[in-house]
Amino acid sequence: MKKKFIEVKNLYYSFGGYTVLENISFVIDKGDMIAIIGPNGSGKTTLLKNIIGLYTPQQGKVAIEGQPPKSVRKQIGYVPQKFSFDRDIPITVHEFMGLERCGDDNHSKKNISRALKEVGLKNIKNQQLGQLSGGQFQRMMIARALLHEKQILIFDEPSTGIDIVGEQTIYDLITKINKEKKVTCIIVSHELNIVNKYARKIVCLNKKMICYGPPETAITAKNLQKLYGVGAGLYHSH
């Protein structure tokens, strides 16, 4: 029997009596690339936080290679929707990437430069975080995950506030890492056309799981109607 890499089983989570996730179940294979879609407030970020072990399910379970996420959390890289710190505070890319140790100082410098180069960012290590564009910031976060050879990468709306070119660059990069390094990627996104193009499986979430499967079976007019409550569909250019 094929071993389940990430398993979410009958997950239930609520905040102060308000149900956010109800009976969510799906399995992610190693090296897969999945997208989670759903309207605002549908529990996408809460699901991610359960997967990384920041939240503990009130019912059901999340397991990574059969272990609770907390015990294997060093394998996971997480790029949140937003950071809570003041972005005007002067911290350089090098300092930020070095927050998690990766060898001694000398090794660290070389490794950081190499990881930045890998995501197409050169000569920015002395730049301040606040000076980076949204796209550069996301790529830097990917470089940081590469630096620590994370096996699972989780992105919470990676292209928010980024233009079409930047968005394409980020998703191409995520795809490259997923294919070349066999890193399992989970992406929360609102961009149906993007997830249709890049994700191999899609979780449609609106507190309950509406559907799970490859884009062609998941992104249907019926599912989208159930998900968003309005008619929605993919844009097909002719």
Partner 1 sequence: MLEFLQYPFMIRALVAGGFISVLLGWLGTFVVTRKMSFIGDGIAHASLAGIALALLFGWATIPTAILWSVFIAGFIYFLEKKAKISSDMAIAIMFTTGMAIGVILLHFYKGYQPELISYLFGNILTINNSDLLSIIIAAIIIIILLFVFYRKLLFTTFDSAGAYLSGLSPWIYDLMLYIITAVTIILSIKLVGIILVSALLVTPSAISKMFANSFKNFSIITIIVSLIIVLSGLIISYYLDLPSGATIILTGTSLFALSYLGKYLFNVCKQY
Please give the residue ranges that form the binding site for partner 1 (CB under 8 A). Answer: 15-16, 52-54, 73-74, 76-78, 80, 83-86, 88-92, 95-96, 99-101, 126, 128, 144, 148
Q: Which is nearer to partner 1, 144 or 201 (CB)?
A: 144
Q: Which is nearer to partner 1, 34 or 51 (CB)?
A: 51
Query: The tokens of 53 are what?
Result: 């072990």
Q: Which is nearer to partner 1, 51 or 218 (CB)?
A: 51
Considering the complex, what minimum distance in angstroms separates the CB of residue 83 from partner 1?
Answer: 7
| Residue 221: how many other CB atoms lie within 10 Å | 11
Considering the complex, what minimum distance in angstroms separates the CB of residue 18 from partner 1?
Answer: 12
Helix 134-147 to helix 105-118 angle, to the nearest 10 degrees? 130
Element (H, E) at 200: none
Extract the runs of DSSP E, i.e. beta strands, from 49-188.
59-64, 76-79, 152-156, 184-188
Q: Which is nearer to partner 1, 181 or 200 (CB)?
A: 181
How far from each other are the two terminal CA atoms of the chain, in whole angstroms?
Answer: 44
Name every residue whose Cβ is closer than 8 Å to that of residue 236 and which is 6 or more positions away in sequence: none
Q: Which is nearer to partner 1, 68 or 213 (CB)?
A: 68
Cα distances (angstroms) measured from residue 68 to each of 47, 56, 194, 207, 214: 15, 10, 31, 22, 26
Considering the complex, what minimum distance in angstroms separates the CB of residue 113 from partner 1?
Answer: 16
Q: Which is nearer to partner 1, 73 or 190 (CB)?
A: 73
Phi, psi of 19 (to 5 degrees): -75, 125
